[in-house]
Amino acid sequence: MATQIKIFDTTLRDGEQSPGCSMNLQEKLEVAKQLERLRVDVIEAGFAIASPGDLAAVKAIAESVHDCVVASLARAIPKDIDHAWEGVKAAKSPRIHTFIATSDIHMQYKLRKSPEQVLEQAVAMVKYAKQYCSDIEFSAEDATRSNPEFLYRMFEAVINAGATVVNVPDTVGYSTPLEMFDLITGIRNHVPNIDKAEIAVHCHDDLGLAVANTLAALRAGATQLECTINGIGERAGNAALEELVMGLMTRKDYYNATSGVDTTQIYRTSKLVSSLTGSQVQPNKAVVGANAFAHESGIHQHGILANKNTYEIMTPASIGLAQNKMVLGKHSGRHAFEDRLISLGYSLTKEKLDEAFEQFKILTDKKKVVANGDIEALVQQKTADIPITYSLARYVINSGNAITATAAVSLISNEVSKEEVATGDGSIDAAFKAIDKLVGIDFELEDFALHSVTEGKDAQGEVMVKIAKDGQVYTGRGLSTDVIEASVKAYINAINKMIDELKLVKEVTSSGQ
């Protein structure tokens, strides 16, 4: 009988910590709902004590998600654990996830504590967390560089204190598959009460081995795999959920293990996270990359036409890639549009569907044929709505290679339209400077990226901008067949997110949280 593996998704905590991948509350909530559709077992909603915004997001997710365990990370100190419980207490299935470093280098130079002091603190904090809820996960930070004998003692002690999950993080991505297999085997053989807790692993990808190490741990007896969508995370990232899950599904003959994940939601989840974080998936990325199911070699194409199993070990449909050939255009109706959305894995409310269909009809006046990529881009633009402080009324650009670019931009705020004019080094720079005058908030433009959603001269341009204020990064997204309009929309979108987050932090701070 196949072993049932639990999938612990930390996209909203470890993934969101990766540089430039921050999300606001509404975006985190949208991702959490999609993770629930994906049917992961545990959603790590955030690090509640990190900021008022993090706490608010954890709370919102705990209140909205019903079919997954909702966890919050906490250092092994009372204040962190108090905040974690405040965040997850409304969840149907809450979990507190507390951690402390166990490697010699971390204990000596970061914690400045002896192993005995660390063990004592870990036990005390697991007991402290246990007063709030029954489900407690304990992580031994930098476990793969820890003394195994100390690790065995630590796990035995925290399990006795009430830990229900013990996690073995490869925090700096240092381990190899054989070492990870041996470490998990050692834990199973030398921790006498290990049968009272689940063994989890959390691997980083600094040496490109996160997925391999995680699967090696599974082979040795780990039953909870911690991962992120698209492998995003600190530094080089985490083990990628889509690679782990499809590895188990495709090679069930070898791993003899299965997860409860709905794999047909993988592609949509990947696209959503990529869109909201502005972190694009490289074309050759396993499972969800643009080239994952593309075949250019004549030999490969011949084999695929004869029998797909010659060069495809999994089907596009298994991850939710639609094969619908029906063309959508200006004469297509609402039913055809809704049917295409369903085939792409989207289930929208009537209000969201109305908005998306309206945008679809506008797009059909600009494009003869609307591709799946266009539809996905439209829907993703609508799924994570935020309060609109500023909206675009109009803009006028005067530019050329022999004159200074000038932009006149009019924005609407509180039903009042205001306009500013600015010059710049090109049309987009001029438009951004005009918007800066209208908004009147100091921030930095950190990144700007433009890519085509589909092929052809009439393709929509998707622009991602990242702005930063007080160390916090906000990602904006704009979509249009006009790249200047897409850029202006993206910039305004990022500004609206920044203003919304600043308001939230102010509200939470003033309420005494």
Is residue 71 a contact partner of residue 43, using CB atoms and an 8 Å limit? yes
Question: Residue 124 is encoded by which pair of tokens?
Answer: 């005390």
Q: Which two tokens stand for residue 301?
A: 């194409």
Please give the distance of CA 432 from its chain centroid, rounded to a whole number.
28
Q: At what angle do helices 372-383 and 350-364 cross, to 10 degrees?
A: 130
Q: In the chain, how long is the greatest CA-to-CA distance?
A: 78
3-state secondary structure 322-359: CCCCCCECCCCCHHHHHHHHHHCCCCCCHHHHHHHHHH
d(CA 479, CA 392): 13
CATH number, domain 3-277, options 3.40.50.980, 3.20.20.370, 3.20.20.70, 3.40.50.620: 3.20.20.70
Q: Which residue's entry shows tokens 């909603």?
A: 45
Q: Alpha helices of 368-482 — where are they, by DSSP H?
A: 372-383, 427-439
Whole-number Å distance between alpha carbons of 168 and 392: 49
* Sign of the alpha-carbon torsion through 398, 401, 405, 407: positive
> Residues 123, 161: contact at Cβ < 8 Å?
yes
Q: So what's the pLDDT on residue 481?
A: 86
DSSP 238: B
Are 137 and 200 a contacting pair, CB within 8 Å? yes
Domain residue spans of the chain: 3-277, 291-321, 322-381, 391-510
CA angle 415, 417, 420 (to 5 degrees): 150
Burial classification of residue 493, based on how many CB atoms lie within 10 Å of its CB (0-12 exposed, 13-18 middle, 19 or more buried)? buried
In 3D, which of 343, 384, 478, 348 has the Cα closest to residue 32? 384
In this prediction, residue 381 carries a pLDDT of 67
CB atoms inside a 10 Å sphere around CB 389: 18
pLDDT of residue 364: 80
**Beta pairing, strands 403-413 & 198-203:** unpaired
Q: What are phi and psi of 164, to 5 degrees?
A: -100, -15
Tokens of 374: 């266009």
d(CA 379, CA 234): 28
Give CA torsion, residues 239, 242, 244, 245, to 10 deg.
Answer: 150
Say if CB 421 and CB 397 are below 8 A apart: no
Which of 459, 281, 453, 258 has the alpha carbon at shortest distance from 369? 459
C-alpha distances out from residue 323 to 284, 315, 326, 343, Å: 20, 11, 9, 8
Class in CATH terms, 391-510: alpha beta
d(CA 259, CA 165): 18
Alpha-carbon distance values, 461 to 22, 246, 371, 426, 482 (Å): 22, 31, 13, 18, 7
CA 385, 92, 89, 80 torsion-angle sign: negative
pTM: 0.81
CA–CA separation, 385 and 81 (whole Å): 31
Q: How far apart, in whole angstroms, are the C-alpha atoms of residue 461 and residue 452? A: 5
Handedness of CA 119, 125, 130, 134 (dihedral sign): negative
Strands (E), 239-356: 257-259
Tell me the pLDDT of the chain (513 aa) as tens digits: 899 999 999 999 999 877 667 788 888 999 999 999 999 999 999 999 998 889 999 999 999 999 999 999 999 999 999 999 999 999 999 999 999 999 999 999 999 999 999 999 999 999 999 999 999 999 999 999 999 999 999 999 999 999 999 999 999 999 999 999 999 999 999 999 999 999 999 999 999 999 999 999 999 999 999 999 999 999 999 999 999 999 999 999 999 999 999 999 999 999 899 888 888 888 899 999 888 876 545 555 556 556 666 667 888 889 887 654 455 777 778 888 888 777 676 777 888 888 888 888 888 887 777 777 777 777 776 655 678 899 999 999 999 999 999 999 999 999 999 999 999 999 999 999 999 999 999 999 999 999 887 777 777 888 999 999 988 888 898 988 899 999 999 999 999 999 988 887 676 666 554
How far is it, in rounded angstroms, from Cα 11 to Cα 247? 19
